[in-house]
Structure 1
Amino acid sequence: MDTLRSYQPDDLAACLGLFDENLPAFFAAEERSAFVRFLTRHAAQWNYQVLERAGQVVASAGYALGPAVGVASLCWGMVHPRLHRQGLGTVLLQARLRALRERPDIAQVVLDTSQHTQAFYARFGFVATRVVPGGYGPGLDRWDMALALETPQAPDEARPEL
């Protein structure tokens, strides 16, 4: 059974292991120090979560609000490579989008990713706003993407009375 929970400082080594397992296809080695800094200083503010399977951290991802009003940013999403294409990334993304849709102050979700995962986000409605060839390093393009969140209808607005 998989368990989604908030990141704890004891998860540092497991999350760094996930990062390292995803090199060089999904992250540039030069990004590791930024990830360490993120985990040690900002993970709580970015609502960083880990997905556990059989007591092992197998995926992680987070989101933050602002600094732009009405905008949330997704960050540092990763799944152990042996478990790619098994729905774990979808679980993480849907959990983050569900949490953000519950906030009436959030109208848009943004992220940056590579050419290797942009199609995954596009399946959920994210659209590319900018592409920077080699933006993360040689052979690793940066794709900036955005998703406009719909305002959920109240039950009485969904069906007009006759």
Structure 2
Amino acid sequence: MHRPYRPEDEAVCLALFTSNMPDFFAPEERLEFAEFLKTMTDTYFVVEDGEHLVACGGVFLRGDGRTAGLSWGMVERSRHRQGYGRALLQIRLDWLRVHAPEVQALTIDTSQHSAPFFAHMGFETQQVELDHYAPGLDRHVMQLLLNTSGER
């Protein structure tokens, strides 16, 4: 089950972030994520399994009206490889199909550790920047082309 993020989800989302350090997120990014949660304007979702929040992530529209981006997506580390990442991506694709059907491409900046998941989901790497987030944590800019109904 998923729902929109609420301010009372902040502590759990920060715990999700912490569970993914240092492999998926650099510790120094935690303050940036905390600030994002307090001031976000993105559409942001949480995924629940029973009473437990297990994933969170957002989607935003870029100024050109034809592209969108994924923001701060994560799955609690002990829940990796259980379908939550795929579900979170589908939630965001479904949102785009309904709220922004004109979007033709979806982009993400992610690390080399998450890039294989997104490649498996159809994203293509556009650019790689070594040590961008932290030493040993590279930035992969990836893109998924969507058809006119927002589907991949």
Pair in the same fold by TM > 0.5: yes
Displacement of 1:117 in angstroms is 0.7
User: What is the SS of the residue equivalent to 1:37?
Assistant: helix
Deviation per CA, 1:13-72, whole angstroms, max 9, x where unpaired? 000000011100100011111101110000xx3111111122121111110011233110
The residue aligned with 1:20 is 18
Contact 1:130–1:144 (CA under 8 A) maintained in structure 2: yes
Identity %: 45
Contact 1:101–1:149 (CA under 8 A) maintained in structure 2: no
User: What is the SS of the residue equivalent to 2:43?
Assistant: coil
Contact 2:56–2:75 (CA under 8 A) maintained in structure 1: yes
Deviation per CA, 1:109-154, whole angstroms, max 9, x where unpaired? 11100000101111121111100011110110000001111124xx
- Runs of 4+ in structure 1 deviating by more than 4 angstroms, as ranges, are none
Unaligned segments of structure 1, at least 5 residues: 153-162
> Equivalents in 1 of 2:29, 2:20: separation in Å?
12
Contact 1:129–1:144 (CA under 8 A) maintained in structure 2: yes
The amino acid that maps onto 1:133 is: L
The amino acid that maps onto 1:88 is: Y
When the two chains are superposed, the root-mean-square deviation of aligned CA atoms in Å is 1.0
How many residues get paired?
Answer: 148
> Equivalents in 1 of 2:135, 2:92: separation in Å?
30
Which residue among 3, 6, 13 is the counterpart of 2:4? 6
> Equivalents in 2 of 1:33, 1:86: separation in Å?
28
Q: Does the alignment pair 1:64 with 2:60?
A: yes
Q: Does the alignment pair 1:110 with 2:110?
A: no
Unaligned segments of structure 2, at least 5 residues: none
Displacement of 1:101 in angstroms is 2.8
